[in-house]
Amino acid sequence: MGEVFAGRYELVDPIGRGGVGAVWRAWDHRRRRYVAAKVLQQSDAHSLLRFVREQALRIDHPHVLAPASWAADDDKVLFTMDLVAGGSLVHLVGDYGPLPPPFVCSLLDQLLAGLAAVHAEDVVHRDIKPANLLLEATGTGRPRLRLSDFGIAMRLGEPRLTETNLVVGTPGYLAPEQLLGAEPDFPADLFAVGLVALYLLEGAKPDAKALIEYFAAHGTPGAPKGIPEPLWQVVATLLQPDPQARFRTATGARKALASAAELLPEPGPDDEVIEIFDQLGPLPEGFGPGGPLKKAPGVEPTTPPKPMPSMSDTGSFHLPPPQAPAQKPEQQPEQQPVQQPRHSPHNPTHVLSTPRSYVPQYPAQPPTPVPHRSPDTASTASYTARVPEVPPPTGHRAARRRAARRPGPPAKVAIPLLLLALALYGTGFWALARI
């Protein structure tokens, strides 16, 4: 059992070492798989700031190995990324020496594709070298390269974490302008790609200083032995000391490389087959392919992830059919069972009953004829509300309805009121006559 970070990451064994930390193989208890975890060793503010800047990069590309998550526990911090088991280009050249030109073209194409994605985010890597170019353990299949280690990478326009006259990078893979203290830019990364290409083709680390001096004094040299001329023209353009004479973008260099690769001869049957092995080695005791064999103290309980639906041949997922809402079953009227004759049709001794004579039954009164409806009326009569038709009043009935109004007050009340009104009227008239 190893050390557990933040209740989630359990360190298994160290697999590498970087500039500011060690790289471990770790088990992610939440995602249930092995990952690579970079643990910060130094706790000074400068190293911590670089660590934070590196883990903040989120570049999703098949040929870029960028941080995926991070965690902190007391005075230690780490971030995780995919676990790549095939080692680096250093391991590959150490096993096979100079690599075949078509194989190198495949690796360079993937490197330039990943670098184009990095530059699209306005990020300059500043540390491209064979040790930072990792490989998947693909065996004898097509290689798969991953650009890693963004420890000193920076975005264009961000403040530098070092002094102006201090050079940051790996000696032997620095562009001439970097040695002069120029601001980081994309052509510097492309110069490092040219040095990596020369390393793969010759099987040894190139002398960058001697190359720069020769290019400056004599111009572009001829193709070295064993390197095809079309491929050398691409590599030589990447190695130009003047940044303005190089490819301006990784995409432009990739297009030129594709044109050169078409002119290379096809690999023959006697050419050596390159195989990329698993360089991590077996898991230590107490760990298996499915994780640790025993639960370590400090691990937070997690719920197992839900299984994903299987994918069909067309790339879509099989979803369960939609369920109709539950409906209340309708009560069906009870049906009386039909009385069947209790005999077997196969009984030859059965005697059939004598059929009764048919007597037509006539109704006592003739049926009322049903009025004929037009097709439009008949088709909507079942669901259209109809207002009952009432014929308008005519003749003396209308006069009687107009005369039938609300009656007035009874006579016992109307006569006294009328007399009182006349008395008041007379009194008023008499008062006016006396004035």
Q: Tell me, what CATH number does 250's domain have?
A: 1.10.510.10
What integer pLDDT is reported at residue 276 of this predicted model?
96
Same domain, 121 and 98: yes
> Which helix (H) or strand (E) covers residue 134, if one does?
strand 133-135
Sign of the C-alpha dihedral computed for residues 423, 427, 429 and 433 taken in this order: positive
What integer pLDDT is reported at residue 69 of this predicted model?
85
Same domain, 48 and 176: no
What integer pLDDT is reported at residue 343 of this predicted model?
46
Same domain, 96 and 183: yes
229-238 and 250-262 are packed helices; what angle lies between their axes, rounded to 10 degrees?
170
Contact call for residues 228 and 262 (beta carbons, < 8 A): no
End-to-end CA distance of the chain: 130
Same domain, 74 and 180: no
What residue numbers bound the domain in which 235 lies?
89-262
Same domain, 142 and 63: no
Residue tagged 């001096």 (tokens):
213
Name the residue type at position 245: A
Closest CA to 22 of 13, 14, 30: 14
Cα–Cα distance between 107 and 366 in angstroms, integer?
102
**Six-digit token pair at 33?**
């798989």
Contact call for residues 334 and 64 (beta carbons, < 8 A): no
Q: What does 148-162 look like in DSSP terms, one character per residue?
A: ---TT-EETTSPPSS
Residue 314 lies inside a defined structural domain of this protein: no
Residue 417 lies inside a defined structural domain of this protein: no
Same domain, 61 and 133: no
Same domain, 225 and 148: yes
**Six-digit token pair at 286?**
């107490």
Choosing from 127, 149, 278, 313, which is the catalytic residue? 127
Residue 22 lies inside a defined structural domain of this protein: yes
Other CB atoms within 10 A of residue 97 CB: 11
Residue 115 lies inside a defined structural domain of this protein: yes
What integer pLDDT is reported at residue 433 of this predicted model?
79
Total of domains in the chain: 2
Cα–Cα distance between 118 and 58 in angstroms, integer?
10
Same domain, 258 and 119: yes
Contact call for residues 134 and 114 (beta carbons, < 8 A): no
CA distances from 146 to 132, 139, 206, 433 (A): 8, 16, 22, 127
Ramachandran region, residue 122 (left: φ > 0; alpha: ψ -120 to 50; beta: rest): left
What integer pLDDT is reported at residue 252 of this predicted model?
97
Same domain, 190 and 208: yes
Closest CA to 49 of 58, 38, 40: 40
Residue 393 lies inside a defined structural domain of this protein: no
Same domain, 11 and 123: no
60 is catalytic: no
Residue 43 lies inside a defined structural domain of this protein: yes
Same domain, 78 and 97: no
Taking only the tens place, the pLDDT of each residue in 284-326 is: 999 999 999 988 877 876 655 555 555 554 444 455 555 655 5
pTM metric for this prediction: 0.67
Same domain, 288 and 245: no
Residue 98 lies inside a defined structural domain of this protein: yes
Residue 378 lies inside a defined structural domain of this protein: no
Kindly report the CATH number assigned to the domain that includes residue 38.
3.30.200.20
What integer pLDDT is reported at residue 112 of this predicted model?
98
Spell out, as residue ranges, where the chain has pLDDT lower than 50.
313-317, 341, 343-355, 357-360, 362-363, 370, 372, 374-388, 390, 399, 403
